[in-house]
C-alpha cells in the first residue's frame, strides 16, 4: 500500500523547487523506508535544478539525509526497523568489483544516480500518474523515502540528525579529497580553491593530514573567515595573491597539492591550480565541469604534474562514515560549525539562494513530522 509524503520536486531544469504531496510505494526486497528528519542543501542539487548536470526529470531532490528506518522490505540484512541511519549518496553493495577491491565510492550500484530509478527499472515516487526519480535514488527532500539498504549506514542514536546528514556527502567528499584522493601528508603545502560545503571539509582534511600550510582561495569574505575556523592557515580573495604567497612561503618550490572544490570548474581555476603546484604536484578536482577544460600539455610533462578527479573524496561509505562520526566525537572534525542555518522544507528555494549569495557554508532542511 502506498502512502502520501511531502517533498520538494523539480519538474524540469531551471524551474524552482516545488513543495507538494506525492505518492510513495512500499519498500521491495532489499529496500527500506526512511522517515527523514534532516536533509542537507548540497550544491549538487542546485546543479541539477539549474541544468548544469544531467538528470532525469521530474526528480525529488536531496541526496544528503538522516532519519529512522520506518519499514523494511524482504531480505534486508544491513539495517533494522528503528535504526538511526545516514544515507550515502554512493551506495555500497559490497559485491561488485569496486567494492571488493576497497573502492566503495565507485560501486556499480550507483549507475542509476542520474535517473533515480531502482535496479529493477521502476520508481518508488509518483505524482499525478507520473514516475518521479529520487536524486541518487534517494530523494531526501521528501519526509519519507524508499531507498536501497546499500545506501544506509547506521549511526549512533545520540548523534543529532542534522549533524549526521552532513557525513552522507559534503563532509566525506571534501575531507576525503585531501586525505584519500589527494593523499596530503604531514608538512606539505595545500591550496584549496572554493570554501563552501565541500571546500571547508577539504580544509579540515588537509589539517587532519598534517599539512603545514593550508591556503584557501575564495572571493567571499564570510567563507574565508569560516575557512580559518576549519583550519586554514592563510586565505586569499583571488588566485593571484595566493600564488604569490605560495611562491614566497615555499622559497619557489610551490605547493604539493591543489584541491579544486569550486561550484563550477573553468579554465581559469584549472590553470591557477596547475600553476600553483610544483614538481610532481597533484591537482585533485571535485567540481562540476562547464564544458571542456583547456590546459597546456607542457604543464604536465615538464614537471610531472598530475590532474585527477575524485568522487566521494575516495572514501568508503561503510568505513568512513562511522570514522567521521568518531572524529566528530573526539573533537578532530568540526560539524556543528558547518551548519550556517536550518530551514523548513518550504524554505528550500530560499536556502539555495542563500548558498548562491555566499551566506551559507551548509544549510540543512529540518523535516517536520
326 is a domain residue: no
* 305 shares a domain with 185: yes
Going by C-alpha positions, the residue among 96, 80, 78 that lies closest to residue 88 is: 78
* 193 shares a domain with 75: no
* 264 shares a domain with 189: yes
d(C-alpha 24, C-alpha 33), whole Å? 9
Q: What is the largest CA-CA distance in the chain?
A: 68
Distances (CA, A) of 169 to 43, 66, 76, 116: 11, 11, 23, 17
d(C-alpha 201, C-alpha 197), whole Å? 7
321 is a domain residue: no
* 250 shares a domain with 157: no
Those residues whose C-beta lies under 8 Å from the C-beta of residue 95, and which sit 6 or more positions away, are none
120 is a domain residue: yes
* 137 shares a domain with 187: no
* 244 shares a domain with 305: yes
What is the residue whose three cell numbers read 567571499?
220
Q: What is the pLDDT of residues 120-153, one digit of tens each?
A: 999 999 999 999 999 999 999 999 999 999 999 9
183 is a domain residue: yes
Q: What's the pLDDT score for residue 290?
A: 64
* 204 shares a domain with 305: yes
Name the CA dihedral angle for 78, 21, 48, 87, rounded to a multiple of 10 degrees. Answer: -20
* 105 shares a domain with 204: no
Strands (E), the chain: 3-10, 18-24, 31-41, 59-60, 65-72, 84-87, 125-127, 130-134, 144-148, 152-154, 189-193, 213-217, 234-236, 255-260, 264-265, 277-285, 288-289, 306-309, 339-343, 362-366
Quote the pTM value.
Answer: 0.96
Alpha helices in the chain (DSSP H): 43-50, 97-100, 161-164, 170-176, 199-209, 221-229, 239-249, 267-276, 298-301, 317-330, 348-356
The residues facing 286 across adjacent strands are none
Q: What's the pLDDT score for residue 287?
A: 86
Q: What's the pLDDT score for residue 144?
A: 99
Catalytic residues: 42, 44, 47, 63, 169
pLDDT along the chain (369 residues), means of 10: 94 93 98 99 86 86 98 98 98 96 96 92 95 96 98 98 98 98 98 98 99 98 98 99 99 98 91 96 88 79 92 97 98 98 98 94 97
Any idea what the CATH number is for the domain that residue 40 is in? 3.90.180.10
**Last residue of a domain, which of 310, 326, 354?**
310
* 153 shares a domain with 13: yes
320 is a domain residue: no
d(C-alpha 330, C-alpha 324), whole Å? 10
Any idea what the CATH number is for the domain that residue 191 is in? 3.40.50.720
* 194 shares a domain with 149: no
* 148 shares a domain with 7: yes
324 is a domain residue: no
349 is a domain residue: yes
DSSP state of 74: T
Cis status, amide bond into 58, omega within 30 of 0: yes
Q: What's the pLDDT score for residue 1?
A: 77
Q: What's the pLDDT score for residue 292?
A: 78
99 is a domain residue: yes
Number of domains composing the chain: 2
Q: What is the pLDDT of residues 199-234, one digit of tens each?
A: 999 999 999 999 999 999 999 999 999 999 999 999
* 83 shares a domain with 54: yes
Residues spanned by the domain of 28? 3-168+334-366
d(C-alpha 266, C-alpha 68), whole Å? 40
Amino acid at each position: 500500500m502506498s502512502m502520501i509524503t511531502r517533498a520538494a520536486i523539480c519538474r524540469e531544469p531551471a524551474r524552482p523547487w516545488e513543495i507538494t504531496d506525492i505518492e510513495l510505494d512500499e519498500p521491495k526486497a532489499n529496500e527500506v523506508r526512511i522517515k527523514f528528519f534532516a536533509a542537507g542543501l548540497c550544491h549538487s542539487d542546485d546543479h541539477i535544478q539549474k541544468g548544469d548536470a544531467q538528470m532525469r526529470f521530474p526528480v525529488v531532490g536531496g541526496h544528503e539525509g538522516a532519519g529512522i528506518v520506518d519499514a523494511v522490505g524482504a531480505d534486508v540484512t544491513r539495517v533494522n526497523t528503528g535504526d538511526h541511519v545516514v544515507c550515502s549518496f554512493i551506495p555500497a553493495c559490497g559485491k561488485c568489483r569496486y567494492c571488493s577491491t576497497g573502492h566503495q565510492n565507485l560501486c556499480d550500484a550507483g549507475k542509476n544516480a542520474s535517473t533515480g530509478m531502482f535496479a529493477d527499472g521502476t520508481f518508488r515516487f509518483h505524482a499525478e500518474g507520473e514516475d518521479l526519480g529520487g536524486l541518487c535514488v534517494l530523494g531526501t527532500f521528501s519526509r519519507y523515502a524508499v531507498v536501497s539498504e546499500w545506501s544506509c549506514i547506521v549511526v549512533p542514536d545520540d548523534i543529532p540528525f542534522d549533524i549526521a546528514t552532513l557525513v552522507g556527502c559534503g563532509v566525506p567528499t571534501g575531507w576525503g579529497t585531501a586525505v584519500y584522493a589527494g593523499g596530503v601528508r604531514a608538512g606539505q603545502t595545500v591550496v584549496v580553491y572554493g570554501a563552501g560545503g565541500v571546500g571547508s571539509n577539504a580544509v579540515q582534511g588537509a589539517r587532519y593530514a598534517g599539512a603545514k600550510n593550508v591556503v584557501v582561495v575564495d572571493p567571499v569574505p564570510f567563507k574565508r573567515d569560516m575557512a580559518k575556523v576549519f583550519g586554514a592557515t592563510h586565505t586569499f580573495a583571488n588566485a593571484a595573491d595566493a600564488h604569490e604567497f605560495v611562491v614566497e612561503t615555499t622559497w619557489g618550490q610551490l605547493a604539493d597539492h591543489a584541491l579544486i572544490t569550486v561550484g563550477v570548474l573553468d579554465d581559469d581555476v584549472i590553470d591557477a591550480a596547475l600553476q600553483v603546484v610544483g614538481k610532481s604536484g597533484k591537482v585533485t578536482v571535485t567540481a562540476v565541469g562547464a564544458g571542456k577544460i583547456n590546459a597546456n600539455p607542457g604543464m604536465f610533462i615538464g614537471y610531472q604534474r598530475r590532474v585527477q578527479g575524485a568522487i566521494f573524496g575516495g572514501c568508503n561509505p561503510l568505513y568512513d562514515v562511522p570514522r567521521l562520526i568518531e572524529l566528530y566525537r573526539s573533537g578532530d572534525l568540526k560539524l556543528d560549525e558547518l551548519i550556517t542555518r536550518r530551514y523548513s522544507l518550504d524554505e528550500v528555494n530560499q536556502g539555495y539562494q542563500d548558498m548562491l549569495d555566499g551566506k551559507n557554508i551548509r544549510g540543512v532542511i529540518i523535516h517536520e513530522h
